[in-house]
């Protein structure tokens, strides 16, 4: 409130206005830089970049660290990062552009634009429902992988055809649930309606007008200027040797952009002008999409209490956070080239702390991560414990062979029942709980994925090993 009054007062002269913006930005940067100095080592991220918009005019971008731990290349404010689901705002903006061009109706069924959905379970889902995650597709469905290449390279068409064959987890228009499926389909709608491939449309209709010179849509190849992603690996961050985002994931997570470019993009979204989209269209994107979607607009999450519009992004090896306070014309973008670990090496406090300081939000840090750390340590210890138990069982195999009667049989076979049940829970139920397949979990957190498989398999192997020792070699009993 005070900042708003000062801004209006200083706007009486350009000189005074410029001085106020510079002073405010420098004071805020000092606090942010001190925080980054303290928190960056805890997060384990090799490099980060952030951009700030103040009073809708001043754009400041900063960076530190390295793009790749193996090469030591320095990160700059112009280094492109994979932005993950921040990309959804670009897809939503493209849909809104086509709507204003009278080529799309938000409440029309998707089958009007993609005939492959005609007479299919999701054929009646509307564009608005896709934009607002009320289509009925679940998070788990959206995180399933589809083939990322086709013979003719038309991956979005292929994916849309695959999704069209699926039954939504819930009746369309009955509940809100975040799903990447929605934006995969919207990406294909953009291609069909515009007559251009998704990357060409986004780069020519959004990035070029927004002067995003260091940004592009990922095509799955390794770009030399792009930051390298790093994934958690037992307390460290390991550089990736491949680009985790191909054309198939572009509409929901494939925008590659620098902090400076994204700051310009957020500035455009808040300027209340008719340019890349009408002012009314931008406003509509940052309002609740429907009664079922009170906290999500079109490509943006909404926090009415804080007055913020935001979206986080998470791709293998990268995490991002874009946040706006439209009423105050403030915005912040934070990009890191590392994924979070489980309890160890998490980046959420780094991203939230920078954002809070840039926008003047109250933030007291994350809650204790003890439970997450305990989970990771337990997963790391269990395979070792099972292995040691196999050694113990072999050493005292005579005692296993001596087990008889109902109680003896129970003690021999019950561990197999429990470990098989545990393996099913780990391999089937846990992915459902996290809304992602085991392969996807392994892609984002390879150490956790490995430990889940190791825990599930080693438990069953231990139980089977005990039975083998108990029922074979009885002719040569040993002393316990």
Last residue of a domain, one of 326, 359, 392: 359
pLDDT single digits (tens) 52-110: 999 888 789 999 999 999 999 999 999 999 999 999 999 999 999 999 999 999 999 99
Q: According to the model, what pLDDT value does residue 25 have? A: 41
pLDDT tier, 147 (very low <50, low <70, confident <90, very high otherwise): low
The answer to whether position 340 is within a domain reads yes
Domain that holds residue 450: 370-471
The answer to whether position 52 is within a domain reads yes
Examine the domain organization and report whether 286 and 245 are in the same domain. yes
Q: According to the model, what pLDDT value does residue 474 have? A: 63
State pTM to two decimals.
0.88
The answer to whether position 69 is within a domain reads yes
The answer to whether position 350 is within a domain reads yes
Q: How far is CA 8 from CA 1, 5, 138, in A?
A: 11, 5, 46
pLDDT single digits (tens) 39-55: 999 999 999 999 999 98
Last residue of a domain, one of 359, 382, 404: 359
The answer to whether position 480 is within a domain reads no
| Helices 14-43 and 2-10, packing angle to 10 deg | 140
Last residue of a domain, one of 359, 382, 407: 359
Examine the domain organization and report whether 134 and 188 are in the same domain. yes
When divided into structural domains, the chain yields a total of: 2
pLDDT single digits (tens) 52-68: 999 888 789 999 999 99
Q: According to the model, what pLDDT value does residue 388 have? A: 97
Report d(CA 260, CA 62) in Å as an integer: 8
Examine the domain organization and report whether 132 and 195 are in the same domain. yes
pLDDT tier, 263 (very low <50, low <70, confident <90, very high otherwise): very high
pLDDT single digits (tens) 151-163: 456 899 999 999 9
Q: According to the model, what pLDDT value does residue 245 have? A: 86
Residue 190 near residue 198 (C-beta atoms within 8 A): yes
The answer to whether position 364 is within a domain reads no
Q: According to the model, what pLDDT value does residue 434 have? A: 83
Examine the domain organization and report whether 331 and 394 are in the same domain. no
Residue 335 near residue 318 (C-beta atoms within 8 A): yes
Token pair, residue 220, equals 């799955």
- The counts of H helices and E strands in the chain are 18, 11
- Kindly tell me if the per-residue pLDDT of 477 is higher than 90: no
The answer to whether position 19 is within a domain reads yes
Examine the domain organization and report whether 333 and 385 are in the same domain. no
CATH number of the domain at 59, please: 3.40.710.10
Instruction: Give the rounded percent of residues in the chain with a pLDDT score beyond 70.
Output: 90
Examine the domain organization and report whether 309 and 452 are in the same domain. no
Examine the domain organization and report whether 139 and 243 are in the same domain. yes
Examine the domain organization and report whether 178 and 225 are in the same domain. yes
Q: Which residues contact 283 (CB under 8 A, 6 or more apart)?
A: none
> Coil, strand or helix: which one is 291?
coil
Report d(CA 1, CA 7) in Å as an integer: 10
Examine the domain organization and report whether 192 and 336 are in the same domain. yes
pLDDT single digits (tens) 388-446: 999 999 999 999 999 989 999 999 999 999 999 999 999 999 988 888 889 999 999 99
Examine the domain organization and report whether 353 and 379 are in the same domain. no
Examine the domain organization and report whether 340 and 409 are in the same domain. no
Examine the domain organization and report whether 118 and 209 are in the same domain. yes
pLDDT tier, 18 (very low <50, low <70, confident <90, very high otherwise): very low
pLDDT single digits (tens) 21-30: 333 444 456 6
Instruction: Give the rounded percent of residues in the chain with a pLDDT score beyond 90.
Output: 82
The answer to whether position 476 is within a domain reads no
């Amino acid at each position: 409130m005070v900042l708003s009054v000062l801004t209006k007062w200083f706007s009486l002269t350009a000189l005074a206005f410029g001085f106020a913006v510079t002073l405010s930005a420098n004071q805020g940067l000092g606090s942010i830089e001190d925080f980054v100095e303290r928190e960056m080592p805890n997060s384990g991220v090799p490099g980060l970049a952030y951009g700030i918009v103040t009073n809708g005019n001043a754009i400041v971008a900063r960076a530190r660290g390295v793009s790749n731990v193996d090469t030591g290349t320095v990160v700059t404010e112009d280094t492109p990062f994979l932005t993950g689901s921040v990309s959804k705002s670009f897809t939503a903006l493209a849909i809104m552009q086509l709507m204003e061009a009278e080529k799309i109706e938000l409440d029309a069924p998707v089958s009007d634009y993609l005939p492959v959905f005609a007479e299919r379970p999701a054929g009646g889902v509307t564009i608005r429902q896709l934009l607002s995650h009320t289509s009925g597709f679940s998070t788990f469905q959206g995180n399933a992988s589809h083939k990322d290449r086709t013979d003719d390279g038309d991956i979005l068409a292929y994916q849309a055809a695959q999704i069209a064959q699926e039954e939504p987890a819930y009746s369309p228009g009955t509940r809100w649930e975040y799903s990447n499926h929605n934006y995969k389909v919207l990406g294909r709608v953009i291609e069909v309606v515009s007559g251009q491939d998704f990357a060409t449309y986004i780069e020519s209709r959004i990035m070029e007008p927004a002067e995003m010179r260091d940004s592009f849509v990922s095509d799955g190849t390794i770009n030399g200027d792009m930051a390298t992603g790093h994934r958690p690996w037992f307390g460290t961050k390991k550089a990736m040797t491949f680009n985790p985002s191909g054309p198939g994931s572009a509409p929901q997570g494939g925008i590659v952009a620098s902090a400076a470019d994204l700051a310009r993009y957020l500035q455009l979204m808040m300027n209340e002008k008719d340019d890349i989209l009408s002012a009314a269209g931008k406003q509509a994107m940052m309002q609740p999409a429907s009664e079922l979607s009170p906290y999500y607009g079109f490509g943006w999450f909404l926090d009415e209490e804080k007055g913020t519009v935001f979206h986080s992004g998470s791709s293998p090896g990268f995490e991002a956070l874009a946040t706006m306070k439209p009423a105050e014309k403030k915005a912040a973008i934070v990009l890191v080239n590392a994924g979070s670990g489980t309890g160890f090496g998490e980046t959420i406090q780094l991203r939230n702390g920078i954002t809070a300081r840039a926008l003047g939000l109250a933030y007291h840090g994350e809650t204790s991560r003890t439970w997450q750390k305990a989970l990771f340590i337990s997963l790391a210890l269990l395979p070792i414990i099972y292995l040691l138990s196999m050694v113990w069982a072999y050493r005292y195999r005579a005692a296993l062979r001596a087990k008889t009667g109902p109680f003896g049989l129970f003690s021999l076979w019950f561990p197999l029942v429990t470990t098989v049940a545990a393996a099913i829970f780990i391999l089937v139920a846990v992915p459902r709980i996290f809304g992602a397949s085991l392969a996807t979990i392994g892609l984002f957190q390879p150490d956790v994925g490995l430990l889940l498989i190791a825990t599930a398999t080693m438990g069953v192997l231990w139980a089977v090993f005990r039975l083998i020792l108990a029922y074979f070699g009885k002719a040569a009993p040993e002393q316990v």
